[in-house]
Structure 1
Amino acid sequence: MWGAKVKTPVDMPDDMLKDAVKTTIEKLGECENFDKDGNEVVASLKKYMDSRWTPNWHVCIGKNFGSFVTHETRCFLYFYYEINQDNKAVMMYKAG
């Protein structure tokens, strides 16, 4: 979807899903060195999701990871995106 490998089941409405994936791709594309500037990308995505879809969003980006989180219904997303031949795992969820 939109260049990302979204893992199922997706617990997010389609409009929110599209916005989250496209915004993540945009912000990762602007980042030249993720190892150096990755925290800024994550903070920027969290701030965007909080302002666009109401607080309290949590954003994790890394190589590959597992998780067990409690989240609000219809507010969870996990996907992979390849940028510059480097796969990034992205997890976003709303809790709080």
Structure 2
Amino acid sequence: MCASRRFEVVSSPDMPEEMKLDALHSVLEAIDSYTTLEDMTEHVKMFFDDVWTPNWCCIVGRRFGCSIPRDDYGFISVKVNDLTFLLFKSVR
């Protein structure tokens, strides 16, 4: 099915463990299901909007910098091999 994967998860200190697991699961599912970064991004964003209430934002790429506003529990970065998924809850 897939080759060995290295992954790293960094999140807000107050993020519930279930939310972290959902992020990892949705990221791995996106990687397995889609070939474009845009489709992967949409998959993870829609999953979190459905499960953890709307206004999640998702950025996917191999190299980028960012500075984003976030709430106390709404930030997680999941890196799988060389691909990073940045997921955060909009403060608006």
Aligned to 1:89: 84
Show the 5 A alignment for 1:39-78: 39-78=38-77
Write the distance in 2 (CA, Å) between the matches of 1:68 and 1:55: 21
Give the gaps of 5 or more residues in structure 1. none
Aligned length: 85
TM norm structure 1: 0.79
TM norm structure 2: 0.82
Give the gaps of 5 or more residues in structure 2. none
Tell me which of 7, 13, 31 is aligned to 1:28.
31
Give RMSD over aligned pairs.
1.6
Shift of 1:53: 0.1
- Whether the 8 Å CA contact 1:63–1:89 is kept in 2: the answer is yes
State percent identity of aligned pairs.
22
Where does structure 1 differ by over 3 angstroms across 4 or more consecutive aligned residues? none
